[in-house]
Structure 1
């Protein structure tokens, strides 16, 4: 019987092709139940994309869960054979909370796992299949990879490495170079470790482009993991799929589960990674397995959004760089910086009702949005880059790159309250704020129990009317506080306008975005020097 593939969704047709590819590569199909005992996921929540799991009690009284992940089930059920190589692929539905809707969704996922006696040959095969999977999805794709072992060894000799680890990985994942330098300084990292970490953070490009830099770093350091990583990259450089692979140390995964090489796959026009994987020997160890393992998953639910684009990988000459600017005085200052950098757009200053403002020569397109919405436009890929305050980034924690502190709009996030108020330890502190997440994290770190009163405006009036004890809000000059017998009690962090980028858009428009960063960086340096 011949099947009419027009009856299938695009994602289903793509997954069918991937299954055939994995079968041809010697991987066996693996089927599993839709359910697992809940304890499997409760014990490994940090490994899951979302820790929200649908549970139910079966007829024997066991607490069960609809499967939110495939890898955990395969590791649990496949059997531990460290002297053999077991290769399986799957096509399964998983059940997770959708980031877009905030509700549970059934999602199609395809992928493969190589478990057991995994060496460099098996690792290279999985990387090749990941790159070929992306190529089958779209010609305009890239597989970005890094090495967690290199990052961890760069910190290994530092006294406070364990405490700083999370912040180092977070700064690398955000491409936030200034935050990375601050962490190294705050935790007293040696100059050798700090310089190596900062140098790795700036490594981004094809394998052939980055190998000379990595070899130079290896020659100047004692990092054995970097040498091993270079050997793997040498093998990739000699392969037929090398042009599809980038080295990018912003690709990080939870080091409690992953180790060695990790990677993510991006497709032009899709704002999130459509493929994710790597070596997960530490997960195997946590599950009392002696085998090594490497694998990846393709998130098929994202594939419906792929259009019929061109065949050329990367940024096309006719592409516009979409730039989201915050409405108001801050946005006007930011646009002036872009204009001085050579990205002017005269129509943006005209009295008109246009929604978009384009410069065809520079291939840039501007649009104004509410300041608190800039990060949403960038994270979801409607804008490639944008500028928003650190307060917004801290509150909503969008999955974006934080590329540059522009120095504009400087102020601070602070706790403020009546002059005569003093907190009594052991009591519940009432906190009025529109930055609820910031307040919760701040007081959790101090071990203080709080009652959050979320307000959208007129925050300063809350303690004066007895609605709250203190507020957490933005303070610029402090004049409003002083005029109402309020004062800053604690400063939480400094705020300024940051240039952010969508992670996928940066992969395909890196040269154009880096050019903007370089020119804006020069302006911020000149401004600092003038002071």
Structure 2
């Protein structure tokens, strides 16, 4: 029985645990304002998840926005370069249009960003934190990983124009194999190119198997390096003691983000019972370059709202101990006695009478000393039932 996060809702408990996790890796909490100049988002709309951004005119005449994204604001203000590394985590609200209700919604979001000199060590660390974050939610999970450079390297060798490349990428992203096969025929692509595109669209599954299949068709320097990086990262994650979690990792080369902003490693996290991803991240060197930053970057966001769709754990008791006292007791000694219970890790409530509908495990009465009058946990077990401890 502990006085802690077990009594909190799932999303609240997760944020507390994850803060400790990220700080143990040296990430510091990033605090930011609620508003940002609209021009930042107007210039980077394709980086955002939605087109519409809530705006207002400030008293000084500037057009401001309720921030729809955290990463852009952090990137805009970072001083990091390729010789340094800024590591931050955040817990913020963003404001986006709801596709269901077509109204603006406030969305709680947690995540981390690493900006500066991003190398294999940094990428592996961020992937490790993504895995540990998913494991913290105490339900089955999958982390899907891709390296966009693999598909980009393939696309650079195809005899197609920019518009045709976009169509091909879209078909791979949606795993539309029949549409992809028809397009290849319409474009009269060489048989070898068509075969590789069809294989890429189906490259999904267990890490080692899919990596071997990708290596078999990697015939450009960029594709080969993409495979080599994934292999190195897998080895590093094993060395970090995450071998037991790597069976939760899947490679999925159909995952393709906007190549104007994203590059290299990208990933998504899913929890059992939820249709939508709860974690999304990757490298976004292109966005840093567009902002004029001489630094690389990688990070991820956790969509806390999605956690609310998971069933909450059942809590039998609101408090562990209820202490009743009479009005004329020695208050000093009463408070000392109550604190002795709290030091044992109990959640204690002090009242003159039993509150209506309060669920408690132990009932104490104080009349100069503490006397245990009721132990519902022992009574529960003596009845032959089994359940969570209070």
Aligning the two structures, in what range does the TM-score lie when normalised by the shorter sequence? Answer: 0.7 to 0.9
Pairs within 5 Å for 1:342-491: none
Distance (Å, rounded) in 1 between the aligned partners of 2:94 and 2:253: 29
Distance (Å, rounded) in 1 between the aligned partners of 2:114 and 2:205: 27
Change (3 A) 1:8 1:307: closer
Q: 1:44 offset after TM fit, Å?
A: 0.3
Q: Is the contact made by 1:258 and 1:281 (CA closer than 8 Å) also made in structure 2? A: yes
State whether structure 2 residue 238 is matched by structure 1 residue 234: no
State whether structure 2 residue 74 is matched by structure 1 residue 74: yes
Distance (Å, rounded) in 1 between the aligned partners of 2:48 and 2:97: 11
Distance (Å, rounded) in 1 between the aligned partners of 2:215 and 2:110: 36
State whether structure 2 residue 42 is matched by structure 1 residue 38: no
Q: Is the contact made by 2:203 and 2:254 (CA closer than 8 Å) also made in structure 1? A: no
Q: Is the contact made by 1:261 and 1:279 (CA closer than 8 Å) also made in structure 2? A: yes
Distance (Å, rounded) in 2 between the aligned partners of 1:187 and 1:80: 45
Who is 1:155 aligned against? 155
Which residue among 288, 293, 297 is the counterpart of 1:289? 293
2:258 aligns to what SS in structure 1? coil
Q: 1:209 offset after TM fit, Å?
A: 2.4
1:289 aligns to what SS in structure 2? coil
When Rg is computed on C-alpha atoms for both structures, the one with the higher figure is 2
Q: 1:53 offset after TM fit, Å?
A: 0.7
Distance (Å, rounded) in 2 between the aligned partners of 1:256 and 1:150: 15
Distance (Å, rounded) in 2 between the aligned partners of 1:160 and 1:186: 12
**Given the two structures, how large is their TM-score scaled by the length of structure 1?**
0.55
1:305 aligns to what SS in structure 2? coil
Unpaired runs of at least 5, structure 2: 314-390
Q: 1:80 offset after TM fit, Å?
A: 4.0
Q: 1:15 offset after TM fit, Å?
A: 1.7
Q: 1:187 offset after TM fit, Å?
A: 3.1
1:81 aligns to what SS in structure 2? coil
Distance (Å, rounded) in 1 between the aligned partners of 2:144 and 2:152: 19
Distance (Å, rounded) in 2 between the aligned partners of 1:3 and 1:78: 38
Distance (Å, rounded) in 2 between the aligned partners of 1:56 and 1:5: 38
Who is 1:276 aligned against? 280
Question: CA offsets per residue over residues 381-434 of structure 1, 9 Å max, x none?
Answer: xxxxxxxxxxxxxxxxxxxxxxxxxxxxxxxxxxxxxxxxxxxxxxxxxxxxxx
State whether structure 2 residue 129 is matched by structure 1 residue 132: no
Q: 1:183 offset after TM fit, Å?
A: 2.5
Q: 1:114 offset after TM fit, Å?
A: 0.9
Which residue among 252, 259, 272 is the counterpart of 1:255? 259
Change (3 A) 1:195 1:307: same
Who is 1:114 aligned against? 114
1:165 aligns to what SS in structure 2? helix
Change (3 A) 1:308 1:141: farther
Which residue among 211, 220, 223 is the counterpart of 1:223? 220
How many corresponding residue pairs? 305
Distance (Å, rounded) in 2 between the aligned partners of 1:211 and 1:41: 37
Distance (Å, rounded) in 2 between the aligned partners of 1:35 and 1:279: 25
Change (3 A) 1:159 1:229: closer
Unpaired runs of at least 5, structure 1: 310-531
**Given the two structures, how large is their TM-score scaled by the length of structure 2?**
0.74
Q: 1:229 offset after TM fit, Å?
A: 2.4
Which residue among 223, 227, 247 is the counterpart of 1:243? 247
Q: Is the contact made by 1:155 and 1:193 (CA closer than 8 Å) also made in structure 2? A: no
